[in-house]
Amino acid sequence: MRDEVQSSGAGKGSSTEASTRPLSVRLLLLESEARTWLRKGYNTPDRVAVLAAMITEKRGSVAANRLIEEMRRQWQRRADWMQEHSA
């Protein structure tokens, strides 16, 4: 179940391979998950290491690395937004 995404009740309720979803949907899900983990306080090196270990155990190292990179991108996006709106 590494790369499977469970259906949330939409459609017929069966699990769907993540690779069959359109790229834009997968990207939105990744961005949303990254922001969720950041909101939950996984924003320090120690906490990110814990999260990476947890995700690696459940989904594999590729998925964990992809998520951590997206978290970094979202954190930078947040910093850029805050800088633009702090005048």
What six digits make up the tokens of 1? 């179940």
CA atoms of 83 and 10, how far apart (whole Å): 39
Per-position DSSP letters for 61-74, written without gaps between them: HHHHHHHHHHHHHH
Average of per-residue pLDDT across 45-74: 98
What residues form DSSP beta bridges with 17? 4
Which tens digit of pLDDT belongs to each residue from 7-37?
334 444 444 455 677 889 999 999 999 999 9
Query: 45 in helix, strand or coil?
Result: helix
Instruction: Please state the domain extents for the chain.
Output: 23-84
